[in-house]
Amino acid sequence: MTKNICYIIVLSLLFITSCKTIFKISPYQSYVESLKSTGLNTTNMGQKWTKVGDSVLSNPNNGLSFPFKEEIFFREEAPAAIAYQISYQKSKKIKISISTSNKNGVFLDFFEGIENRKNITSKHLKDTILVYESDKDQVLLLRLQPQLLINEHVIVEILEQPKLGFPVKNGKNNDIKSFWGMDRDGGERKHEGVDIFNKRGTPIIAVEDGVVSRVQITNLGGKVVWQRLGFAGPSIYYAHLDSQTVSEGQKVKKGEVLGLMGNTGNARTTSPHLHFGIYTSSGAIDPLNYIFKKDSVPGKLKADSKYLGKEIMLTENDQVLPVKILAISTSSVTYQDIEGNVSRNEVLNIYNKKIKRPANPSSAYLLEKPAADGVAIGKFDPTEYYAVLGFKNSFVYLEQNNVRGWVAAK
């Protein structure tokens, strides 16, 4: 909650980035430079790698619901990248965990903004956890991409959590029973906080590290504790306590007991509860989303992760095409087509019907793609057994002697 000059990003364990860090050249950019200096950027693979890295930023996965989890299998023969768009609200924090099972690692590039992207961190990493919070709502973009010719299995988890802790020990969201903006004193004033009910004597705890700025008894709030978060941060207001157990000027840690729940002040006719408020330099704000607890266990993936990296047949515009499964998440399945383009579906839709289209393959070679200039990847013998798997325009996709490829058909 402290006001920061640029952004707050806490990168635990493996690296710490501060506001002072200025990336002259990011690890990603320096890798692009190394591709140029070795001439790899002009190869087919090198060009695909650069292209997917750029294009994924304008086509990120923006349908995330939290808690989100995705398993990705990057294959060495098909350059790919994954990007996520995250709508960040200032009352929350975003926790991103990344683990790489093959330990080759990936480039992580994290941006604020979509059109005017500001790269706020750029790393080549194996396993990491990063927590993002800001004093402003933001649209965030996260890109993951391995180096060229690398197989890497990545698991990503993205959680949205309230920025502050819950102010009542062992309290639940359901204990919040009176909300921001409700009428008070017959409509004379509005409720400038939320009320959290529990038994008398339940510990009231600090929602964040800070300093106790005031310990008072007032007509309205009864026994109250004020806590200041950071140098220019907001003030947190805890009211109607039965007793206060801290003193003015005391430094407190998140979770430390400040007092016990009661019904002092104008709450003496209601059952014991905590009135909880947040005051910024521009007045009171609705504290609900700052403390409302969120699920932290992601749901089931949309398909079994055994399909990762596997080729399946997909029907699209009356054609049946081979695609490889790049990623499976709690909200979608991501495919990569023969050109390297990435698309997403809510379910895994395998086309496994018999192909009815008559195929009369005329070419002597199996081609890499359905085009006359496709590279030959094997010989084709129309007199031997083959299975037709798919088709596109005047080409059929078939398998003969365990090799799959495209053949022009009459």
CB of 274 to Zn ion, least distance (A): 8
Phi-psi region for residue 340, left (φ > 0), alpha (ψ -120 to 50) or beta?
A: left
The backbone torsions φ and ψ at residue 354, rounded to the nearest 5 degrees and listed phi first, read -70, 135
SS3 assignment, position 290: helix
CB-closest chain residue to Zn ion: 275
Report the alpha-carbon distance of residue 266 to residue 261 in Å, rounded: 14
Instruction: From 35-43, 55-63, 193-201, 359-367, give the range in contact with Zn ion by CB under 5 A.
Output: 193-201
Q: Cβ closer to Zn ion: 193 or 340?
A: 193
Q: Cβ closer to Zn ion: 69 or 273?
A: 273
69 binds Zn ion (CB under 5 A): no
Report the alpha-carbon distance of residue 376 to residue 332 in Å, rounded: 34
CB of 215 to Zn ion, least distance (A): 19
Query: For the stretch 249-287, what's the b/e string if a residue is b when 16 or more beta carbons lie within 10 angstroms of its beta carbon?
Result: ebebeeebebbbbbbbbbbeeeebbbbbbbbeeeebbbb
CB of 113 to Zn ion, least distance (A): 38
Opening angle at CA 297, ends 296 and 300, nearest 5: 145
C-alpha pair distances (Å), 356 with each of 159, 352, 404, 407: 46, 12, 18, 16
How many residues are given for the chain? 410
Can you tell me which residue has the tokens 């709690």? 330
195 binds Zn ion (CB under 5 A): yes
Q: Cβ closer to Zn ion: 160 or 195?
A: 195
Cβ neighbours of residue 358 under 8 Å, at least 6 residues apart? none
* CB 240, CB 221: distance < 8 Å: yes
Q: Cβ closer to Zn ion: 7 or 180?
A: 180
Q: Cβ closer to Zn ion: 133 or 195?
A: 195
Instruction: From 188-196, 230-238, 284-292, 376-384, give the range in contact with Zn ion by CB under 5 A.
Output: 188-196
Question: Which residues in 222-251 contact Zn ion (CB under 5 A)?
Answer: none
Instruction: From 48-56, 218-226, 269-277, 305-313, give the range in contact with Zn ion by CB under 5 A.
Output: 269-277
Q: Which two tokens stand for residue 35?
A: 């591709």
Instruction: From 104-112, 115-123, 129-137, 191-199, give the range in contact with Zn ion by CB under 5 A.
Output: 191-199
| Strand 342-345 to 273-280 pairing | unpaired
In this chain, which of 275, 333, 380, 398 binds Zn ion, going by CB under 5 A? 275
Count CA within 13 A, CB hemisphere, residue 69: 13
Instruction: From 9-17, 43-51, 253-261, 274-282, give the range in contact with Zn ion by CB under 5 A.
Output: 274-282
Q: Cβ closer to Zn ion: 103 or 200?
A: 200
Residues binding Zn ion: what is the number (CB under 5 A)? 2
Question: Which residues in 151-180 contact Zn ion (CB under 5 A)?
Answer: none
CB of 227 to Zn ion, least distance (A): 17
Q: Which two tokens stand for residue 168?
A: 């009542």
Q: Cβ closer to Zn ion: 180 or 351?
A: 180
Least Cα distance to 324 among 315, 316, 332, 314 occurs for: 314
Q: Cβ closer to Zn ion: 89 or 235?
A: 235
* CB 77, CB 152: distance < 8 Å: no
Rounded to the nearest 10 degrees, how much is the dihedral formed by the CA atoms of 299, 303, 305, 309? -140
324 binds Zn ion (CB under 5 A): no
Q: Cβ closer to Zn ion: 174 or 247?
A: 174
Q: Cβ closer to Zn ion: 93 or 275?
A: 275
CB of 3 to Zn ion, least distance (A): 27
Which residue ranges make up the site for Zn ion (CB under 5 A)?
A: 195, 275
